[in-house]
């Protein structure tokens, strides 16, 4: 499954820099939910399902469905009970039959907490096969999970209903009684009723469509072929009036609502991704299913869902229209497609034995999301983008004391849902990339092939994975992992411990040696945790130096073992810099002694700076700013490192820099030093902002469109009036022409946001109407994000009110994004959003998905609260409205803590940053600080006219 993961640091350019759009509901927290934890949560192992036959009749108009399931089970251990999962179903009849004698059912019981339905028999069942025949009814849900109904509007305003399913991880039990755990694999034969003018699709191909049947109101039955062995959470079906485009053989189809099917053709190219994965893994996808259906849903709970043979997406991640959709949309379609296709093996063919190992599914899907898409699109630099989009985000999330190990036991429905987080996805993907690099590609591939082949139609565990990789490593001639290093021993330190290491390189410049030590990195700083566990890792090491700047060999040339606090080795020449962790493949941060940092900073200012690879330039920035934020390194060093950015033209290090600046921007927004901060940042950004210009150039690299938009966003944000007037003019012209002038698609995120900041209500309303009218989901998302950039409080309140108003036109899955766009795009809007949240707790909870969403929103908002007055305001609001917060009460307290931490951070670091900026801006050759951006911008304007 592909979820939204919020990356708090990327606040300025949310729709530009992120492969995954933000949503506070899955934010960077990695909390454990222990409420209701119960070790009896697992089904007993005495009965296993073999085959399900399911018949479903959805009554859309009446909001309910009738169902019947016949489950063939085998009783494998003596028992007098059969226990299976049921949720929100009314069971009307139960019959148990068998060739064996069947004792009478003495009682049936339901446990709401565990969602267990238990048949108790008068005597013990003989071991063998039984058939459970259950008839029931249930409500069609309207929240896009379980068995649900939804709708879309046609261009003529007609409402079209459809029904669909979303079962991950624990919602299949809401559509039919079942053994709803991933390891209980079975065959499924689905039949679903619908109107004759509708079409039904499911995991398997349809076997037949019946004639209208009077017992179901003259609906017809579509019956599907029986599936291979699969887990319940991967079962899917849909009834709609959707249409499709297909490949030549008809085995690869893209479905959408009829009016959008013209934008479905681009995704047919996704077949290349599926073929690439078939080849890489050595098991053809079509061995499991003869077809692949992909559906673009107008409303969906998640970005996409990997149901075997029937993948569902939000429209934005499947439909693409030239001239309207962006380069980012195109990339997302490729990467999200690769993610879901990778699941057809990692998750579907080999399923994690239990949710404790979700990373065996989601971590691999995240890795292949980039790896496979990179193979099909080699010029897109996706593995480099992986480091700044996935790996850096994983590190930020995993550096808090309340992070969790990748492997983690889960004992309740809430806990199962909670492990679909940034740790399973991003850290999982990152340590898989580390594994690839220290094993070498041949061993990595062969090991994964063995893991898949050995466990097809069964389950996977970390142990099975390590065994397969060890076998490949032992047997392949080109193994690069040798000697005392054992894969399981190494990887246990990365999967069973939370957090990750910081290694510190301390050089002896006289003896040309260095000591490299390890400790756990904590974002709140050394000593901030009461955890007395001694965290140690097996750490793959490699080093480049100024005389030997070979950044491409990413094998481990040395290891710090878990039993080692530090290692001692030779270093480069005294005058050389050294840089550890080539291409940042190891999941750790690196600190150096001050002299080495200075050597690096000085070298970056030379024309040879590109001898350091783009990923390692990004690493230096990301590490330095996170080390400084946590107190391990002085801000003087981190900020000095950014001087060279005036000559940086690469998207990858710039992304790391923008993320670093975003934190400072948020923290310093109300500080007296903010004007100097703007001057300095703009002085770094202006060369790239100017050189890329506002026009897309022929021959631009794929990632240039991202850098162009980001540099413009930052230039505007840092106060460049030329940039602001440019965006405002673009939007004004767009309005004046009734939407007939064209804004380059890849600049729309920037233009809409910056252009709407001071636009009047007429322009804003015009853009809102565009949101309602456009047929393209990507364009909708860009407008949605831009609408929150307005600085007019009345407009913002109106927009926020739309998000809690039924029939306002905002799609349900856009409500949260609308709220987020308000507080994340401008410091002055934070207080408006905060007030609105407290004044509308019940309505936000109702329309956004519950009080837990309110809690997450509060915590995310708090990352923007940096002053004493904001703290007082927050505390006042909590005391005034606290009785409405319910389960969000603890998040409210956490929001207070976050705000206090921000204030403390400012107390600690604001002075150093102020001093550094003053020194920098007043040094020879710099412009007067208060006018820096203005003068540079006007200069640019003049140059522009002259050019
Ligand atoms: Zn996934």
Percentage of residues in the chain with pLDDT exceeding 90? 82
Q: How many angstroms is it from 391 CA to the middle of ligand 1?
A: 16
Residues 562 and 430 in one domain: no
Half-sphere exposure in the Cβ direction for 53 (13 Å, CA): 6
Q: Is 498 helix (H, G, I), strand (E, B) or coil?
A: coil
Cα four-point dihedral sign 404, 405, 411, 415: positive
Q: What is the pLDDT of residue 5?
A: 57
Residue that is last in its domain, among 440, 459, 493: 493
- The verdict on 304 and 410 lying in the same domain is no
Q: What does the pLDDT read at residue 25?
A: 31
394 shares a domain with 286: no
Predicted pLDDT at 232:
98
**Distance of CA 358 from the midpoint of ligand 1 (Å):** 9
Tell whether 23 and 48 lie within a shared domain. no
Query: Which of 226-235, 415-424, 553-562 reaches the highest mean pLDDT?
Result: 226-235
Q: Where does the pLDDT of residue 944 fall: very low under 50, low under 70, confident under 90, or very high at 90 and above?
A: very low
Determine the pLDDT at residue 7.
43
Domain boundary, last residue among 493, 517, 549: 493
In a domain, 653, yes or no: no
643-678 burial by CB neighbour count: b if 16+ within 10 A, else e? Answer: bbbeebebbbbbbbbbbbbbbbbbbbbebebbbbbb
Q: How far is the CA of 137 from the centre of ligand 1 (A)?
A: 31
Residue 55 has pLDDT above 70, yes or no: yes
631: in domain: no
The whole-chain average pLDDT of the chain stands at 91
Q: Per-residue pLDDT averaged across 2-9, rounded?
A: 52
Residue 386 CA to ligand 1 centre (angstroms): 16
How far, in Å, from the CA of 424 to the mean position of ligand 1?
Answer: 10
Q: Which residues are catalytic?
A: 340
What is the domain count for the chain?
4
- 486 and 511 housed in the same domain: no
Give mean pLDDT, residues 846-865.
92
Where residue 582 sits, what CATH number does that domain have? 2.60.40.1910
CA dist., res. 5 & res. 8, Å (int)? 9
pLDDT greater than 60 at residue 4: no
Please check whether residues 363 and 275 belong to one and the same domain: no
- End position of a domain, from candidates 338, 373, 406: 338
Residue with tokens 């013990």: 124
Q: Residues 884-900: pLDDT tens digits? A: 999 899 999 999 999 99
- 731 domain residue, yes or no: yes
pLDDT value at 402 more than 50: yes
In a shared domain, residues 269 and 125 = yes
Indicate whether 327 pLDDT > 70.
Answer: yes
Q: CATH number of the domain at 288, please.
A: 2.60.40.1730
Residues 839 and 939 in one domain: yes
Instruction: State the distance from the centre of ligand 1 to the C-alpha of 12, rounded, in angstroms.
Output: 26
Tell me phi and psi for residue 741, to 5 degrees: -80, 160
Asked if the structure places residue 219 within a domain, the reply is yes
Cα of 385 vs centre of ligand 1, distance in Å, is 18
Segment 192-206 mean pLDDT: 98
Residue 488 lies in a domain: yes
User: How much is the pLDDT for 892?
Assistant: 94
Ligand 1 centroid, distance to 579 Cα (angstroms):
34
- The residue-averaged pLDDT of 47-60 equals 98
The DSSP secondary-structure symbol of 927 reads: P
Confidence of residue 38 (pLDDT cuts 50, 70, 90): low
Q: Is residue 660 assigned to a domain?
A: no
- Tell me how far the alpha carbon of residue 46 lies from the centroid of ligand 1, in angstroms: 31
Under the banding of pLDDT at 50, 70 and 90, the label for residue 698 is confident
Q: How far is CA 424 from the centre of its chain?
A: 10
User: pLDDT tens-digit profile of 733-777?
Assistant: 999 999 888 888 899 999 999 999 989 999 999 999 999 988 788
In three-state secondary structure terms, 9 is coil
CATH number at residue 875: 1.25.50.20
Q: Are residues 316 and 370 in the same domain?
A: no
- How far is 861 from 838, CA to CA, in rounded Å? 12
Report the separation in Å between the CA atom of 340 and the middle of ligand 1, taken as the mean of its atom positions: 6
Higher pLDDT, 8 or 216: 216
| Pair 536, 474 in one domain | no
Residue 376 CA to residue 306 CA, distance in Å, equals 20
**Partners of residue 527 on adjacent β-strands:** none
* pLDDT tens per residue, range 287-301: 999 999 999 999 888
Window from 237-246, 596-605, 747-756 with minimum mean pLDDT = 747-756
Residue 542 pLDDT greater than 50, yes or no: yes
Query: From the CA of 382, how far away is ligand 1's center (Å)?
Result: 18
The residue segments making up the domain with residue 384 are 14-36+356-493
Same domain, 286 and 400: no
* Exposed/middle/buried for residue 532 (C-beta within 10 Å: 0-12, 13-18, 19+): exposed
Residue-wise pLDDT tens digits, 649-666 = 999 999 999 999 999 999
Q: Compute, in angstroms, the gap from residue 338 CA to the centroid of ligand 1.
A: 10
The 10s digit of each residue's pLDDT in 659-689 is 999 999 999 999 999 999 999 999 999 999 9
Q: Which of 5-9, 419-423, 614-618 has the highest mean pLDDT?
A: 614-618
- Does any domain span residue 7? no
Residue 24 has pLDDT above 60, yes or no: no
pLDDT for the residue 776: 83
- CB-side neighbour CA atoms (13 Å) of 303: 23
For residues 579 and 600, is the Cβ–Cβ distance under 8 A?
yes
Neighbour count for residue 464 (Cβ, 10 Å):
19
Q: C-alpha 876: how far from its chain's center?
A: 34
Asked if 66 and 171 sit in the same domain, the reply is yes
At 644, list the tokens.
Answer: 């060279």
Question: Going by C-beta distance under 8 Å and a sequence separation of 6 or more, which residues neighbour residue 863?
Answer: 8, 666, 898, 902
pLDDT tens digits, residue range 568-592? 999 889 999 999 999 999 999 999 9
CA dist 893 and 885 (Å) reads: 11
Sign of CA dihedral 543, 549, 551, 556: negative
- Whether residue 884 is contained in a domain is answered as yes
Residue 414 pLDDT level (bands cut at 50, 70, 90): confident
CB 349 within 8 A of CB 330: no
């Amino acid at each position: 499954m592909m979820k939204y993961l919020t990356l708090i640091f990327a606040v300025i350019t949310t729709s530009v820099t992120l492969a995954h759009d933000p949503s506070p509901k899955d934010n960077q927290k990695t909390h454990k939910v222990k409420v209701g934890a119960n070790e009896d949560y697992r089904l007993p192992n005495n009965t296993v399902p073999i085959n399900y036959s399911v018949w479903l009749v959805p009554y859309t108009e009446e909001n309910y469905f009738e169902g019947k399931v016949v489950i063939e089970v085998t009783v494998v251990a003596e028992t007098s009970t059969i226990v299976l999962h049921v949720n929100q179903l009314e069971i009307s009849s139960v019959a148990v039959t068998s060739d064996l004698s069947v004792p009478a059912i003495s009682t049936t019981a339901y446990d709401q907490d565990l969602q267990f339905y238990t048949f108790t028999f008068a005597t013990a069942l003989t071991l063998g096969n039984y058939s459970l025949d259950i008839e029931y009814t249930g409500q069609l849900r309207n929240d896009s999970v379980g068995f649900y109904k939804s709708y879309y509007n046609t261009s003529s305003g007609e409402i079209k209903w459809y029904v669909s399913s979303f079962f991950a991880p624990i919602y299949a039990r809401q559509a039919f009684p079942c053994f709803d755990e991933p390891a209980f694999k079975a065959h499924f034969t689905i039949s679903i009723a619908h109107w004759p003018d509708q079409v039904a699709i499911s995991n398997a191909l349809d076997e037949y469509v019946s004639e209208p049947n009077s017992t179901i109101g003259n609906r017809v039955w579509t019956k599907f072929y029986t599936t291979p062995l699969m887990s319940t959470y991967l079962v899917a079906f849909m009834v709609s009036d959707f249409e499709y485009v297909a490949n030549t053989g008809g085995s690869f189809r893209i479905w959408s609502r009829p009016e959008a099917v013209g934008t479905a053709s681009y995704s047919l190219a996704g077949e290349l991704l599926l073929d690439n994965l078939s080849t890489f893994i050595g098991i053809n996808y079509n061995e499991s299913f003869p077809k692949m259906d992909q559906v673009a849903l107008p409303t969906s709970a998640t970005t996409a869902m990997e149901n075997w043979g029937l993948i569902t997406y939000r429209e934005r991640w499947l439909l693409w229209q030239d001239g309207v959709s962006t380069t980012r949309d195109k990339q997302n379609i490729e990467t999200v497609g690769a993610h879901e296709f990778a699941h057809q093996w990692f998750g579907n063919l080999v399923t994690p034995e239990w949710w404790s190992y979700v990373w065996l599914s989601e971590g691999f899907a995240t890795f292949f999301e980039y790896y496979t898409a990179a193979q099909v699109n080699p010029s897109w630099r996706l593995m480099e983008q992986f480091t700044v989009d996935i790996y850096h985000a994983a590190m930020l999330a995993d550096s808090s004391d309340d992070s969790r190990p990748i492997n983690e036991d889960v004992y309740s429905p809430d806990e199962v849902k909670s492990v679909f987080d940034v740790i399973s996805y991003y850290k999982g993907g990152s340590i898989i990339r580390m594994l690839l690099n220290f094993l070498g590609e041949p061993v990595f591939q062969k090991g994964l092939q063995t893991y898949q082949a050995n466990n097809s139609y069964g389950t996977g565990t970390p142990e099975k994975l390590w065994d397969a990789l060890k076998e490949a490593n032992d047997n392949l001639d080109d193994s690069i992992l040798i000697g005392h290093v054992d894969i399981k021993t190494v990887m246990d330190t990365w999967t069973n411990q939370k957090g990750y290491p910081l290694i510190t390189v301390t050089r002896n410049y006289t003896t040309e040696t260095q000591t490299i030590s390890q400790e756990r990195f904590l974002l709140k700083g050394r000593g901030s945790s009461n955890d007395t566990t001694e965290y140690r890792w097996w750490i793959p090491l490699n080093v480049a130096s100024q005389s030997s700047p070979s950044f491409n060999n990413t094998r481990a040339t040395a290891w710090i073992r878990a039993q080692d606090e530090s290692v001692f080795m030779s270093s480069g020449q005294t005058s050389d810099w050294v840089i550890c962790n080539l291409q940042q493949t190891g999941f750790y941060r690196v600190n150096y002694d001050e002299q080495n940092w200075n050597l690096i900073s000085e070298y970056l200012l030379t024309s040879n700076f590109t001898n350091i690879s783009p990923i390692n330039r990004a690493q230096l920035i990301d590490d330095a700013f996170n080390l400084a934020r946590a107190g391990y390194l002085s801000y003087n060093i981190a900020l000095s490192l950014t001087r060279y950015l005036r000559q940086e033209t690469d998207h990858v290090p710039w992304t790391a820099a923008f993320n670093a600046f975003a934190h400072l921007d948020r923290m310093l927004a109300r500080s007296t030093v903010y004007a100097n901060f703007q001057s300095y940042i703009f002085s770094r950004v202006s060369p790239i902002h100017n050189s890329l210009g506002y026009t897309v150039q022929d021959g631009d690299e794929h990632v240039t469109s991202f850098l162009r938009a980001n540099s413009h966003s930052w230039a505007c944000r840092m106060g460049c009036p030329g940039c602001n007037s440019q965006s405002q003019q673009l939007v004004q012209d767009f309005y004046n022409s009734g939407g007939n002038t064209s804004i380059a698609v890849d600049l729309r995120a920037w233009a809409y946001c910056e252009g709407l900041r001071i636009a009047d209500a007429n322009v804003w309303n015009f853009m809102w109407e565009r949101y309602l009218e456009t047929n393209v989901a990507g364009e909708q998302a860009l407008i949605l994000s831009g609408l929150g950039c307005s600085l007019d409080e009345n407009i913002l309140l109106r927009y926020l009110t739309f998000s809690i108003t039924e029939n306002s036109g905002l799609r349900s899955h856009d409500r949260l994004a609308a709220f987020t766009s308000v507080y994340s795009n401008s410091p002055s809007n934070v207080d408006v959003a905060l007030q609105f949240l407290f004044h509308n707790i019940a309505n936000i909870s109702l329309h956004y998905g519950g009080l837990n969403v309110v809690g997450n929103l509060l915590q995310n908002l708090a990352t923007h609260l940096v002053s004493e007055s904001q703290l007082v305001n927050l505390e006042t609001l909590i005391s005034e409205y606290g009785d409405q917060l319910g389960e969000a009460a603890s998040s409210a307290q956490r929001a207070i803590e976050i705000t206090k931490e921000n204030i403390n951070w400012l107390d600690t670091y604001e002075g150093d940053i102020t001093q550094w900026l003053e020194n920098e801006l007043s040094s020879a050759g710099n412009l007067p600080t208060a006018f820096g951006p203005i003068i540079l911008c006007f200069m640019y304007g003049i140059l522009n006219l002259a050019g």
